[in-house]
Amino acid sequence: MIKKILFIIAGLIVALLLIGFVLPGKLEVTKSVSIQAPASAVFEEINDLKRWETWQYWNTLDPDMKITYGEKSAGTGASYSWQGPKLGDGNLALTETIPDKSVSIEMDFGGNPASGVYSLEPDGNNTTLNFKFMNDQGMNPIGRWINVFMKSEIEKSFDYAGEKIKAIAEAKPKFTYQITEENLPTINYVGLMHTMSPKDPVAISAQMAKMYGELQTMLTKAKVEITGYPLALYPAFTEESMDMICALPVAADAKLPAKYKVETLEGGSAIKGIYKGDYSNLMALHLELDQYLQYKGLTMNGAPMEVYVTDPMLEKDTAKWITEIYYPIKKN
């Protein structure tokens, strides 16, 4: 009787192995979710592995799982490994991240390698997030059986992640202007400061024209080259009063008349906003940059700076005027 049972079991094993050889060796699972948020709001969730803890399906299956992050936890080269009583050991790495476009990953589930791609399709302020999982078991019949059972779990994981990421991204503040985090280079400049009320834009424009005119005339006479776009710094600002420095970039060793001095604005981390149009609504971008600081928990590390990329004397169409605004920040 025992021999008969063993014979049946052996036969079943052989049958399963034979069936395994005819099962597909490759597994590919795709899912998509539509999110009412810009691509940048979605990308930051998938580009940072530490954020995955808030939307990763697998963590819910093994809450006692221990996660260890690599030297990087965000961007290309970021990685982590896991050990769990239910899911076992494994590791995952971000092999390539393209801002606001895609994140490619390689992973290993305890000797079972796979790859995946999270891709973004922006449509105005909406984004379609596409999930793709790929696994090739080759001629391994057991691996092919694993794929059969893995497919439904992968689909569940994508559905779960899609709902979570959608909720997170759609709850974020909506920014009208393009805001990015940049590395601001060191700038040497000569400038003039004036204190005045911020409430009269006509008076501000007239004062700025006067100061830039003085600087331009002085540099021309001194035969000193202007090395960049005109800029303005605002080291102090309240509803009633502001300190405004109008400045022109020059070389660090520029020879200037005694009244003037080359100042240095040290480089470093900053958030940057781009404004297009005449200067009448620049404050709207300043307000969004301030909102961005609060949302990200960032701290200012210097005076706000406006950089006037377009020369109004050369471009009469105000819709084509470009102004960049930088807020220096402390790097966490």
DSSP-derived secondary structure for 68-103: EE-S-SBSTT-EEEEEETTTEEEEEEEEEEETTTEE
Query: Across all residues in the chain, what is the average pLDDT?
Result: 87
Q: How far apart are CA 249 and CA 184, in angstroms?
A: 14
CATH 3.30.530.20 describes domain 24-170: yes
Q: How far apart are CA 231 and CA 323, in angstroms?
A: 9
CB 106 within 8 A of CB 93: yes
The residues of the chain that CATH labels 3.30.530.20 are: 24-170
- Note the pLDDT tens digit of each residue in 88-126: 899 999 999 999 999 999 988 777 788 899 999 998 889
Is the model's pLDDT at 16 over the cut of 50? no
Query: At 195, which helix (H) or strand (E)?
Result: strand 187-196
Q: How far apart are CA 113 and CA 136, in angstroms?
A: 8
Superfamily of chain region 179-328: Regulatory factor, effector binding domain (3.20.80.10)
C-alpha dihedral sign at 42, 44, 48, 54: negative
Which residues are CB-contacts of 153 (< 8 A; sequence separation ≥ 6)? none
Q: How confident is the model at residue 24 (pLDDT cuts 50, 70, 90)?
A: very low
The residues of the chain that CATH labels 3.20.80.10 are: 179-328
Q: How far apart are CA 139 and CA 25, in angstroms?
A: 7
Beta pairing class for 263-265 and 179-184: unpaired
Is the model's pLDDT at 7 over the cut of 90? no
Is the model's pLDDT at 179 over the cut of 60? yes
- Note the pLDDT tens digit of each residue in 281-313: 899 999 999 999 998 889 999 999 999 999 988
CA–centroid distance for 34 within its chain: 19
Query: Which residues are paired to 135 by β-bridges?
Result: 27
- Note the pLDDT tens digit of each residue in 141-158: 444 545 555 677 778 888
